[in-house]
Chains A and B, each alone.
Chain A
Amino acid sequence: MAKDNVIVIGGGPCGIEVSRNLRDLGYTPILLEQQSELGGHLRLWDRLFPEGVEARKILKDLTSDLKGVKWFTDVNIESIHKSRKGYTVNVDTGMSFETKALVVTTGFKLFPAERKQEYGYNIYERVITNADLEQYFHTRKDPRIQNPKTIGFVHCVGSRDEKACNRQCSKVCCATAVKQASEIKELFPDAIVYCFYMDLRLFGRSYEDMYLTAQKQYGVRFIRGRVSEVSEDIDGKLFVKAEDTLLGKPMKMKLDLLVLMTGILPGESTTQLSEMLKINVGEDGFFTPRDTILEPCRAKDAGLFMAGACTGPKTIPETLSEARATAIQVHKYLSR
């Protein structure tokens, strides 16, 4: 039996894993990525919680075995036509692909921190984001990080914030903040590290241990209270205001470095494809599946599948599990 093409849009960890699994099931996956390399956000991260596995190692393992997967980078989707037979995907390089089943794995983007102007990203020198810090952990080079003695982490930047048009919790940033706070304490053991949080949401297995270690071993100081504003003094030090809501007192402090834990928004291609393919989205902009519990990887249209962070914030293992599940769903659909 000749097996079909399956088009997968988005070459992050999810798209890669869907493609590999479809390949193993005998299909010819065609993986389309708009960036010049596969890997999505995983390329930009240094280590993954909870154990601190190197992101690059995971990515290498994922991309080391792509035999049988036809993948294309630097590709933008121009149009998608739906017919009774399936989908025709036209891309900007002039190519055109036919498929009976289409898998969308277009993922997320990080909240642009400069939109929360009161935190001063791109205004004050020593305000950075979680993504900048991951980059620093990898390269150890960032002119903004010069042996800081006091460091603050602001949780929920652009998450749980109706004014920032993003009401939902981004789920993974609490664990990331605890991880990064511990990592920066390893690099600068004498520094005092504060985490400003509204609620701590450490939902996964052994994440609570990570929190306990951050408190006990690294002495990270957790302050329940949202940073209200940041300003800068003449030496470039940051003044931060917050309320310690557990003590019931407003507080002010001077910091050498402030890390903004930017939240998760639907990726630009996620929004673009939701319009192109008429996929239902929620108020948060993420795709709404056919059934959130029983069929989280299928859209309303038969033949249209979706997986990974385009249906909401997820950890890498969750994304990979969903990718594998989606491959089986596609197989079931095509061999019905």
Chain B
Amino acid sequence: MSAVIDNHTHDHHGPKKGFMRWILTTNHKDIGAMYLWFSFAMFFVGGAFALVIRSELFQPGLQMVEPEFFNQMTTMHGLIMVFGAVMPAFVGLANWLIPVMIGAPDMALPRLNNWSFWLLPFSFAILLSSLFMEGGGANYGWTFYAPLSTTYAPPSVTFFIFAMHLMGVSSIMGSINIIATIFNMRAPGMTLMKMPMFVWSWLITSYLLVAVIPVLAGVITMMLMDINFGTSFFDAAGGGDPVLFQHVFWFFGHPEVYIMILPAFGIVSHIIPAFARKTLFGYSSMVYATSSIAFLSFIVWAHHMFTVGIPLVGELFFMYATMLIAVPTGVKVFNWVTTMFRGSMTFETPMLFAIAFVVLFTIGGFSGLMLAVAPADFQYHDTYFVVAHFHYVLVPGAIFAIFAAMYYWLPKMTGNMYPEWLGKLHFWLSFVGMNLTFFPMHFIGLAGMPRRIPDYNMQFADFNMVASVGAFAFGITQLIFLAVVVITIRGGKKAEAKSWEGADGLEWSLPSPAPYHSFSTPPEVK
């Protein structure tokens, strides 16, 4: 986002000119912007894969692709969206916003920050290049269960492992940096319990990342050893156990799910109070709820594995623990609703996305609660009902929150207001497209359609067709967002320092656009 360039005459030096600026930069705003652009690019790549899937599933029969390529598409769509789109988008927002929210001049470890970012393009270039390798790219699902991903995997699996390692190093470095920034760079007077919710949610998310990404690194290292060095971690023939893979993977995988939603909680906790012109209800309970969700995420992993044959006691434990997560999540939703209650609301685009977030994420939470009921999960597991569930928490959950954040802070980033009508158009088309795509998936899942299949019986045909139409509508709509961002960077109505009437926080005390170097002398927080 070139509009970030400081055009005021300050006594510090501005950014370097040209391409090297982006390669060598240690500025949190530059790096944040690069993360966001990278994530946006990956969002379109992953989205294109999703549209390949949806076109094949438009009708029964094989029309577009062969099953083998279909599997590569489902796998790549999942990996790209999770690790390439959602996570980097949140890291990008964290980079841009955390220093200006806590009154810091930059991130604590600026050079590490540069490195964290630049690992990502290489990681995903390797991952995507595996599609062109002999034997095809990753085709074992984003959960890459052994032995399908080890003994029975295409040779490109080693590249997949290497790509995931790079991504993991990037994430760990990024989160350590965020922790170091939050702990050491806060403006005087900003105690932990005075921190903005986005900062809080990212602090907890960073802890989750540092704790579980190494476990992911461990599990893919074990895969690598099984494939290339003759060990038998997951190979029953050598005394290993394929189910062990799932335990270790989901020990990472479940906290990972919360990594993708906690920053979204933080964002929404900024936007709803701003447009309700009312203080966030229950700030401290929000902090406690987020922490308990993070803690519980470590003890519920086996609810992804209800059908692998866990003993009865284990099933019961994981069922109860999973249901328990609904309690702190509920507290957050109730707090948001109470924040809106007796406010003075207006409905600009960020608020629309935030309200849609609350409604649709709650619907995703409801289906999550249904999935937690172990006996019922025997019917839901690995069907489109699960696909519907996690898309409801990730698309209108994580992605709508990212859109909301972009609309909300874009004036601060670019110095210009975005065209409101275009933002609203983007919202309404996304809202309709998203529901058209994913709501029917509940029905086809309950009717009995397994996930990850390229073709299906005619009894699933009608709703699949609806879902495919919705997916194309949703996908094309995202071009509007690209237009909004480009238009806003290039010009538009000048944004005030405090771009929104109800906005609150240190970032709004800076001029818009925020100068290249901000808070060189820390502000005082009372």
Do A and B assemble together? no
Question: Which residues of chain A have a CB within 8 Å of any CB of chain B?
Answer: none
